[in-house]
């Protein structure tokens, strides 16, 4: 009766083979619904550069005997793009002649997935840095989330590119209308990072709500900022802002702030501050001159400062420390 290793050896006969190392003793078998390939590699290279194979092959300095037959090592992987597999295996074997200078985005994602699986970033870090740096300027120029943002967060985390990772996580903090789901959003992103993104977004909106309410309270109850008629007009404006649904700061605190995007709320409040449409000569005896405090800070100094500190208060997340 054939054992499992005999079945593996029989299954790989006739497979398309890519020779990574002509003297290799390891047959890496890629088997999935779409692809079946065999890569001839060096087991010593795999052990020395890949944490995954180091754990799988080396136990007490010796390869697992059940993976070996006739001095050949047989390993199987699945669900990876063969081009990404070939590129990374070539890199860790020191064969860099045909490595792409700038992979397209789908290939870059496949490279990051296989790199994470192998745990081989140190062996390919110079190339990973080069790939990220070539795309960095276009990434940093983006100011909104798109269909690739979740994948880009994973890629920059896997390749440990601090600048891109911080920028992408800042975009999530600034542009989400609800919490990121810990399980469905991106299962390859550590939960702690998602929690920090959610916490920063909610903290910004929560403080903004409290500052808006505090300014309304002062306008309506004193101490006076300008004339009583002027303060009353601006107090009514604050009520209208809350009633409009822009940020209902008179209601009970909304811990999730579902439906409220920090960036959109900020831009609308800045527009209100700029337009200052309620301020007329009939409201304040000072007119639109420099003597009316409400004219210069219709939402209050603290709110204005909070709005202008937007980037500093939602700066993104730093890469987690490697263990």
DSSP 227-238: -HHHHHHHHHHH
pLDDT digits over 187-196, tens only? 678 999 999 9
Query: Quick one: which H or E segment has residue 40?
Result: strand 36-41
* Token pair 């860099």: residue: 96
pLDDT digits over 18-44, tens only? 999 999 888 888 887 777 888 999 989
Asked if 165 and 108 sit in the same domain, the reply is: yes
Asked if 68 and 49 sit in the same domain, the reply is: yes
DSSP 166-222: HHHHHHHHHH-SSPPPTTTS-TTS-HHHHHHHHHHHHHHHHHHHHHHHHHHHHHHHS
Cβ–Cβ under 8 Å, residues 231 and 278: no
Asked if 119 and 214 sit in the same domain, the reply is: no
- From residue 171, how far is each of 14, 31, 153, 271, 315 by CA, in Å? 49, 37, 10, 21, 9
Asked if 21 and 102 sit in the same domain, the reply is: no
Local structure of 50: helix, strand or coil? coil
Asked if 9 and 50 sit in the same domain, the reply is: yes
Quick check: 277 pLDDT over 60?
no
Nearest alpha-carbon partner for 317 in 192, 146, 193: 193
Quick check: 5 pLDDT over 50?
no
Instruction: Decide which of 79, 97, 118 is a domain's last residue.
Output: 79
Residues of the chain with pLDDT > 90: what percent? 58
Q: Is residue 184 part of a domain?
A: no
Instruction: Decide which of 54, 79, 104 is a domain's last residue.
Output: 79
Number of domains in the chain: 3
Q: What is the pTM of this model?
A: 0.87
Question: What pLDDT sits at residue 177?
Answer: 94
**Residue 17 to residue 86: CA distance in whole angstroms:** 11
**Residue 302 to residue 143: CA distance in whole angstroms:** 26
**Pairing mode of beta strands 36-41, 26-31:** antiparallel
pLDDT digits over 210-234, tens only? 999 999 999 999 899 998 888 998 9
Instruction: Decide which of 175, 195, 217 is a domain's last residue.
Output: 175
Question: What pLDDT sits at residue 323?
Answer: 61
Asked if 266 and 281 sit in the same domain, the reply is: yes
Asked if 70 and 93 sit in the same domain, the reply is: no
Nearest alpha-carbon partner for 278 in 219, 217, 222: 219
**Residue 47 to residue 271: CA distance in whole angstroms:** 59
121-140 and 162-175 helices, crossing angle to 10° = 50
Band (282; pLDDT cuts 50, 70, 90): low
Question: What pLDDT sits at residue 248?
Answer: 80
Asked if 66 and 88 sit in the same domain, the reply is: no
Beta bridge partners of 73: 26, 68
Residues spanned by the domain of 261: 204-313
Residues whose CB is less than 8 angstroms from the CB of residue 268 and which lie 6 or more positions away in sequence, other chains included: 246
Asked if 72 and 109 sit in the same domain, the reply is: no
Q: Is residue 180 part of a domain?
A: no
Q: Is residue 191 part of a domain?
A: no
pLDDT digits over 69-91, tens only? 556 788 888 889 999 999 999 99
Quick check: 65 pLDDT over 60?
no
**Residue 80 to residue 293: CA distance in whole angstroms:** 63
């Amino acid at each position: 009766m054939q054992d499992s290793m005999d079945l593996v050896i029989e299954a790989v006969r006739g497979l398309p083979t890519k020779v990574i190392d002509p003297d290799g003793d390891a047959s890496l078998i890629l088997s999935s619904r779409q692809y079946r390939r065999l890569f001839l590699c060096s087991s010593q290279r795999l052990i020395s550069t890949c944490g995954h194979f180091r754990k799988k092959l080396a136990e007490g300095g010796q390869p697992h005997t059940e993976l070996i037959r006739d001095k050949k090592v047989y390993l199987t992987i699945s669900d990876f793009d063969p081009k990404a597999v070939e590129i990374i295996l070539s890199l860790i074997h020191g064969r860099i002649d045909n490595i792409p200078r700038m992979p397209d985005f789908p290939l870059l994602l496949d490279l990051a997935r296989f790199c994470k699986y192998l745990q081989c970033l140190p062996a390919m870090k110079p190339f990973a840095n080069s790939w990220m740096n070539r795309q960095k300027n276009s990434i940093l120029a983006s100011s909104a989330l798109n269909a690739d943002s979740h994948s880009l967060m994973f890629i920059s985390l896997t390749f440990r590119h601090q600048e891109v990772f911080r920028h992408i996580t800042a975009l999530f903090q600034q542009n989400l209308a609800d919490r990121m789901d810990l399980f469905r959003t991106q299962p390859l992103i550590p939960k702690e990072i998602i929690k920090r993104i959610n916490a920063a977004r909610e903290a910004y909106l929560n403080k903004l709500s409290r500052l808006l309410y505090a300014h309304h309270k002062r306008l309506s109850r004193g101490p006076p900022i300008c004339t009583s008629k002027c303060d009353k007009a601006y107090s009514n404006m604050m009520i209208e802002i809350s009633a409009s649904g822009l940020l209902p700061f008179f209601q009970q605190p909304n811990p999730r702030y579902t439906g409220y995007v920090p960036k959109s709320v900020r831009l609308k409040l800045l527009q209100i501050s700029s337009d200052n449409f309620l301020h007329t000569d009939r409201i304040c005896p000072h007119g639109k001159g420099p003597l009316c405090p409400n004219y210069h800070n219709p939402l209050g100094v603290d709110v204005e400062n909070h709005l202008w500190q937007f980037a500093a208060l939602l700066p993104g997340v730093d890469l987690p420390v490697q263990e």
